[in-house]
Structure 1
């Protein structure tokens, strides 16, 4: 089963953009409903098999974007091209801080762990989260911080263990948002992981009656409210979302760094009790990832890492089967 393409004529796009929520990322709201999302999941599940030469390049595209954007949301400044060099060519990136390169490589290791776990018939454990965190952060380090009174300080960030000191963020209006205390965190995380696994089981038992993006939004907001680690909570939280996507028959949700402010605004709404913006934002990212993946499977778009925005309308190049040179490395064949 395939979804019919929406009318993307300029006039229709203009009409939608005049009334669309920024959390929809330009996606027609009709494609974000629970029933439409279930249609999307089914379409993804019966997508055509990709030609032999395509899957590796497509997976590289997803891999680069997944690692790039989750880190960039947290302030990492590596570019798309530099991420390709680091992850796909295994070469050092000159002129960059070692810490930034370690963040991308560590996140990539955690991504591999998440993919492997998603293929296994088992629940998520707290030990998994702590291992993801250890891989993400690589090694202990010190980072600049502020006291609640606003005085500059620094703190040691531990890896793979829950926080031992309280954490908070200072909001744009100067107020302080405090997260769960170190004493509260173990019990809250036990409750959170138990509910996450239960919600996933309920959804998989009857996906046609569920609202999967709402499940993702609820668990992500709850996790961020706890903020169980000293640092890396956003990245770890998005890995949980990715694991849930893969377990449920979706591609991973990738929030582009260009939508960082939209994402943070959606999180603010969620923490105030309104999950709809975050739910819609996540749903829109899933629509975009499925649209891209289906276009690749049908041979309708560029599947290489050069398609850095996962544009399902970007033409396939090298349709004669010749090698395509992309960013200095070679992709054999084409999607046609």
Structure 2
């Protein structure tokens, strides 16, 4: 029964994505503002999951205006700048239709960690020490000597799975598999969330942002732990699907309102038609 509900949800997500194509797109300025908002949300939420104390507005000030925040550490500021640059890099990878590779994964982690003072030299390099989830020392991540073959196997799996799994399921599984390997000394969660959004946006779905409040973070971490410890991927796949559905619903609401506003504006005017057809200001 649970499998049937999940299958139905994936079909619903496909329909919602297709419905977005029926509406007129936002004008370029509104697209830029929306993309800017999603970018800030991602940098803030993804870093907050890892313990950053920056607020959303503080994150926006750092990455949009180049400001420093009184009372906040240099490390948190640099983490925000790094993740914003990594986010932009992933968007460019999607735009250029760059295929997933081991180099791509390394480079995303390299950008995530690039300016973080004490970890700069290890950015993009696989770890050589054991690692485990906080509070679960008995459950090691992939052993250091097994990391490279595990990532190689992950890339091989991804290049096959992308063609036969639903894009939302594929994105969730890609995230879960990469973070379970935990190949880098730091930045694995941020790298994995970027990889998940790389997969989603490549397939035409919007970016999703896992929320960092305690309840949402605990649910996210618990679902990852279940997948890692039992092999049951469904709780995490369903969590990602719920985020996608919520994000799609908000995007559709926005597009419907935009369509209504455009139609209202076209009807509600006393100007002559030749003025109405004046080219849109850029």
If the length of structure 2 is used for normalisation, what is the TM-score?
0.82
Tell me if the contact between 2:112 and 2:187 (Cα under 8 Å) persists in the aligned partners: yes
Distance 1:280 1:273, change over 3 A: same
Tell me if the contact between 2:168 and 2:200 (Cα under 8 Å) persists in the aligned partners: no
**Deviation (angstroms), 1:294:** 2.3
Mapped partners of 1:47, 1:104: distance in 2:
34
Tell me if the contact between 1:44 and 1:249 (Cα under 8 Å) persists in the aligned partners: no
Q: Does 1:270 align with 2:246?
A: no
Which residue does 1:176 correspond to in 2? Answer: 138
Q: Does 1:90 align with 2:66?
A: yes
Q: Does 1:136 align with 2:112?
A: yes
Tell me if the contact between 1:106 and 1:138 (Cα under 8 Å) persists in the aligned partners: yes
Structure 1: unaligned runs, 5 residues or longer: 1-20, 22-28, 144-155, 204-209, 301-336
Mapped partners of 2:61, 2:114: distance in 1:
20
User: 1:178-237 CA deviation, whole Å, 9 max, x = no partner?
Assistant: 11122111111011012112211x14xxxxxx4333222322221122110001101101
Larger strand percent: 1
**Deviation (angstroms), 1:158:** 1.3
State the SS of the aligned residue for 2:144: coil
Query: How many matched pairs?
Result: 253
Distance 1:191 1:46, change over 3 A: farther
Mapped partners of 2:7, 2:41: distance in 1:
23
User: 1:252-281 CA deviation, whole Å, 9 max, x = no partner?
Assistant: 121111211110111122122222211111
Which residue does 1:233 correspond to in 2? Answer: 188
Which residue does 2:55 correspond to in 1? Answer: 79
**RMSD value over aligned CA atoms?**
2.4
Tell me if the contact between 1:32 and 1:283 (Cα under 8 Å) persists in the aligned partners: no
Larger helix percent: 2
Mapped partners of 1:61, 1:55: distance in 2:
10
State the SS of the aligned residue for 2:257: coil
Q: Does 1:165 align with 2:129?
A: yes
Mapped partners of 1:110, 1:136: distance in 2:
6
Which residue does 1:189 correspond to in 2? Answer: 151
Mapped partners of 2:134, 2:67: distance in 1:
37
Mapped partners of 2:47, 2:19: distance in 1:
30
**Deviation (angstroms), 1:140:** 6.0
Distance 1:170 1:94, change over 3 A: closer
**Deviation (angstroms), 1:142:** 4.5
Shift >6 Å, 4+ stretches: 29-32
Mapped partners of 1:77, 1:88: distance in 2:
18
State the SS of the aligned residue for 2:133: strand
Distance 1:142 1:86, change over 3 A: closer
Structure 2: unaligned runs, 5 residues or longer: 259-282
User: 1:100-127 CA deviation, whole Å, 9 max, x = no partner?
Assistant: 0111110000000000001123311111
Given the alignment, which residue of 28, 31, 34 partners 1:55? 31
The range that moved more, 47-56 or 102-111, is: 47-56
Equivalences for residues 22-41 of structure 1 within 5 A = 33-41=9-17
Equivalences for residues 1-336 of structure 1 within 5 A = 33-139=9-115, 141-142=117-118, 158-171=122-135, 175-200=137-162, 202-203=163-164, 210-258=165-213, 259-271=216-228, 272-299=230-257
